[in-house]
Amino acid sequence: MLIDSRRLLYFLRIVEYGSFSKAAKSLGVAQPALSHHVRLMEEHLGVSLLVRRSRGVEITEEGQDLLRHARAIIERLEELELDLRSNSKEIKGKVNIGLASSVAAPLTPLLLKTIRSRHPEIVLRVIAGNSTALVELIKTEQIDFALNLELVVPHRSVRLFCEDLYLIGPAGSFNGRRSDTIEFKDAVSLPLILPTRPHSVRKLVEEKALERHLTVHTQFEVDGFEPIKAAIKIGMGYSILSWAAIQTELAAGQLSALRLVRPSIRRYMVLDIPPKTRLSRAAQATREILAEIVVDLFRSKTWRGQLYLPAAGERSRQKTPAI
């Protein structure tokens, strides 16, 4: 026998509110009835899902497993209802996407602005996170798709672009240089502020250094691009980041950058979609808009690197994998 979707919704609300009484009030259901539905679900599954405490409700380990799947199921049912209710011209519904933290800051405002302009009925949720966390969200179908690093995506995905990594220093620190590049061996000898392992940038830098028998001078380990950039601004060291991650500060003259060469270090960004998942119309529209924004950022030279995805008007004329 399948689990009743209504009971899954009840379970979700109880966990969200941390209380049977608060959940019952929000659902408009009597508390004894709510407790009865949870008890029936526990009996059906043969596990304990929730434990009542004096300060509220505590979720069990089995309850955590159910919670992960229940969220995805309820969201899919809500999207299905919205799709069926909408007419052929109107696009609306909930969309959950993930953006790698290095590109989230420049992309999110542009994405929200375009979504509100074109599809005001789309309710968009953006999760900015590290690459491994986004892979887990894709795996558990908590997000519709993600813009993530090809390095960590375990299945086939659509490559959008690649970007070079740069040595980042305080404003004016590279003035007087004849070149806008720096050799890798010289960059890793400087006092660096790098993310902790297994961050993709740290992994790429250390792998290249190992290949060339070099030692990376990591003076500080800091997770998060914003605190790393803040530390560089006050002269605490240098870092190795992508152009997208520091474009705003470069434009404002707050940081300076040199492209790594001999060797250059490139990382590839892909559009990651859960395997065997059919995107809703709202998610498809959001995906198209995200791709358009990425194309525009490269065409305007706001971002640097190599674009693999053609502009929307060109996709029909080229044999490029459809996104």
pLDDT in tens, 218-276: 999 999 899 999 999 999 999 999 999 999 999 999 999 999 999 999 999 999 887 76
CATH number at residue 204: 3.40.190.10
Examine the domain organization and report whether 210 and 253 are in the same domain: yes
Taking residues 150-163, what's their average pLDDT? Answer: 83
Beta strands 93-100 and 145-149 are parallel
Say whether both 122 and 137 belong to one domain: yes
- The answer for residues whose C-beta is within 8 angstroms of residue 43's C-beta and 6 or more apart is none
Which DSSP helix (H) or strand (E) runs through 14? helix 5-17
- The predicted-structure confidence for 6-57, as pLDDT tens digits, reads as follows 888 888 889 888 888 888 888 888 888 888 888 888 888 889 999 988 788 8
Concatenating the DSSP letter of every residue in 168-224 gives: EEETTTTTT-S-SEEEHHHHTTS-EEEPPTT-HHHHHHHHHHHHTT----EEEE--S
Domain count, the chain: 3
Confidence check: pLDDT of 316 > 60: no
- Regarding whether 122 and 31 lie in a shared domain, the answer is no
**CATH number of domain containing 16:** 1.10.10.10
DSSP 321: P
Cβ–Cβ < 8 Å for 219, 238: no
Q: For residues 150 and 239, state if they share a domain.
A: no
Q: What share of the chain is helix, strand, coil (3-state, %, to 5)?
A: 45, 25, 35
Cβ atoms of 118 and 282 closer than 8 Å: no
Whether residues 238 and 307 share a domain: the answer is: no
288, 305: one domain: yes
Question: Pseudo-torsion of CA 53, 57, 58, 60, nearest 10°?
Answer: 110
Amino acid at 101: S
Alpha-carbon span 137 to 141, nearest angstrom? 6
pTM of the predicted model as reported, rounded to 2 decimal places: 0.70
Pair (76, 126) in one structural domain: no
The answer to the question of residue 122 being in a domain is: yes
Instruction: Kindly report, residue by residue over 101-141, the tens digit of the pLDDT.
Output: 989 999 999 999 999 999 999 999 999 988 888 988 888 88
Please, which residues have CB within 8 angstroms of residue 35's CB and are 6 or more apart in sequence?
20
Radius of gyration of the chain (CA): 24
pLDDT score recorded for residue 88: 53
The answer to whether residues 109 and 252 belong to one domain is no
Buried b (16+ CB within 10 A) or exposed e, 262-274: eeebebbbbbbbb
Report pLDDT for 313: 42
Please check whether residue 322 lies inside any domain of the structure.
Answer: no
Within a domain: residue 289? yes
Report yes or no on 323 lying in a domain: no
One domain, residues 193 and 277: no
- Domain contains 173: yes
Rounded to an integer, what distance in angstroms lies between the CA atom of residue 33 and that of residue 301? Answer: 60
Q: Are 122 and 74 spatial neighbours (Cβ–Cβ below 8 Å)?
A: no
Domain that holds residue 156: 90-160+268-315
- 111 C-beta neighbours (distance < 10 Å), count: 21
Q: What is the mean pLDDT of residues 203-229?
A: 95
Residue 181 lies in a domain: yes
Quick check: is 20 in a domain? yes
Question: Over 50: is that where the pLDDT of 176 sits?
Answer: yes
Cα–Cα separations (whole angstroms), residue 11 to 26, 46, 67, 102, 285: 13, 16, 8, 35, 31
